[in-house]
Structures are given as C-alpha cells and as structure tokens.
Amino acid sequence: MTAYFERLVKVGIALGLTAVIFAAPQNVLADSFTVTYLGPGVQTPSGITTYETFDSGLGAGNTTTFNGSGITGTYSGDFQILSPSQYGGAGGTGQFIATTTPGGNPGSYTLTLSQSVDYFGLWFSALDQGNDLYFYNGTTLVFSFLPSNYSTLVGACPSGSNPYCGNPNSAFLGQDNGEQFAYLNFLDTGGTFNKIVFTEDPTVGQFESDNHAVAQNVVTIPGTPITPTPEPSSLLLLGTGIFGAAGMVRRKLTR
C-alpha cells in the first residue's frame, strides 16, 4: 500500500510539473512569417531595389532611406560600420554593419522604421550561435529568428560540399568556412512590423550583416523556404538548446 501511494505521489508530482511547464507564460508571437534563402553567393535581394548597403555609412542621425524607398530607417544601439573582411562586406569590397566588439557592450542594436512594412531582407554573413533577430510591431514582439533556424536552413559548416560555408567573395574566398553566408528574406504574412532588433551574445562574437532591405505590400518572396517553417510561437523554444552548446562554438573572439 505504501509503495502504491508513493507511486501515486510521484505521478502526481510529474503531472504537476508538466502542468506548470505548459501553464507558464509562453512568449507567443503574433504573426506568421515566410522565410526563404537565396542561392549560394547571392548577396542582394531579388526583385527589391530598396536596400541599404552601408558603403557610404549612414546619414545624419544614423538614418537611411533604403536607396530612396520613401521609408526612413534609424539605427540605434551598439553597432559599428566595418570595412570588408572575411566576416562580411557584400562583394568583398563594401562596408557592412555589425554589433560592437566581442566582450564589450551588450551587442544589440535596433532598426526603427518610419512606417510599417511586411518585408525585410539581409545578407547574413559569418553566422554564429549568438545571432538573434526580433521583429516588433510597436512594443509587440511578432516574430523571432534564431541561429538554430538558420544553421539548419543551409546546412552545417565546415563542409567542403556545402556552398554556403565560408565567404563567397574572391577577396576572401573560402575564409571563415566554419560559418554560413546566405541572403535571407522575411515576409510577414499575418501583419506588419516597424522595428527589428539585432542581438548578439557578446561572449560568442559579433552579428555581421549587409544589404538591409525593406518593402511593403509584398505578395511573395523568392528563394528556398525553410522546411519545415517553424511556428512563430515555438521559435524562442527552438533556440533554448543553443546556449547549452555554447562551449562547443569556435568563434572569433580574437578579432
């Protein structure tokens, strides 16, 4: 009888813990996104001409018009504009944006848009396990994209047969082959957003990217979709395993 009672207690505890886990507030995100990636070596958006190259730096107040789009974007936080290197710079000659030096500031910056849009694109270069993207509509988080989603998207690196591994530009060809390089498109099919937050774990490295593109009233986006496309409410959960593997990440802390 005692053993039976103990089993009931254990089962009750297990069910109680399960209930707590599922009853705990989840960061349920509001919108559905379609995410695609373009072919290996592609570093600019397809069919979108309104993007910021960072080649001439940013305008007064760290603003851009995305090549005359009529939409103003303002960058704020811990970022810097860098010269081309093995880690970034579209074409191997252009400047790119990155979070501040590893081990320094928190490694987060925000792109605030003057109006709501439903499309954003960027050339992800030198992906590391600290790169996170968060999309907001005002103060509401509507979507997030984490390294676990991206790394499985284009395949593991280093790999001699994976064309997304390493810098694709002739000046730095094949360098940094332990990380992925690809152009990604984000289409909000369930609403709009007007703010994007780029974050980096400062103990891991930097978040490098280039050719930030925005547009509104986009119907479809080119490229290969994520398969399967992560449900918005589960994206944050998918990223929780990354931090446990952080010790395995070989990253560029010696830059």
Would you place residue 105 in the very low, low, confident or very high pLDDT band (cuts 50, 70, 90)?
A: low
Which pLDDT band, with edges at 50, 70 and 90, does 147 fall under? confident
Residue 7 located in a structural domain:
no
The DSSP line for 186-209 is EEESS--EEEEEEE--TTT---EE
Kindly state whether residue 210 falls inside one of the protein's structural domains. Answer: yes
Least confident of 28-42, 55-69, 182-196, 229-243: 229-243
CA distance 11 to 234: 27
Buried/exposed code over 78-115 (b: 16+ C-beta within 10 A; e: otherwise): bbeebebbbbbbbbbebbbbbbbebeeeebbbbbebee
In a domain, 21, yes or no: no
Residue 240 or 72, more confident: 72
- How much is the pLDDT for 23? 36
In this prediction, residues 195-212 reach a mean pLDDT of 91
- 235 domain residue, yes or no: yes
Report the alpha-carbon distance of residue 254 to residue 248 in Å, rounded. Answer: 16
> Which pLDDT score, from 0 to 100, does residue 146 have?
85
pLDDT, greater one: 48 or 239: 48
Count up the domains in the chain and report the number: 1
Mean per-residue pLDDT for 168-189? 95
Over the stretch 6-32, which tens digit does the pLDDT of each residue have? 554 343 434 443 333 333 333 455 799
Q: Domain with 179 in it: what CATH number?
A: 2.60.120
Q: What is the mean pLDDT of the chain?
A: 81
Task: Give me the pLDDT at residue 38, please.
Answer: 96
Question: 91 lies in a domain?
Answer: yes
Report pTM: 0.78
Is residue 3 a part of any domain in this protein?
A: no
The answer to whether position 8 is within a domain reads no
Is residue 153 over pLDDT 90? Answer: no
Q: CA 210 to CA 123: how far, in whole Å?
A: 5
- Per-residue pLDDT band for 129 (boundaries 50, 70, 90) equals confident
In a domain, 19, yes or no: no
CA distance 14 to 21: 11
Per-residue model confidence (pLDDT) at position 123: 97
Look at 10 and 209; give whichever has higher pLDDT.
209
Whether the CB-CB separation of 181 and 162 falls below 8 Å is answered with no
Kindly give the residue spans of alpha helices, DSSP state H, lying in the chain. 2-23, 147-154, 235-238, 240-244
- 136 falls in which pLDDT band (50, 70, 90)? very high
Show the domain range for 200. Answer: 29-240
Lowest mean pLDDT among 77-86, 98-107, 129-138: 98-107
pLDDT confidence of residue 24:
34
Higher-confidence residue of 228 and 212: namely 212
Query: Distance from first CA to last CA of the chain, Å, rounded?
Result: 65
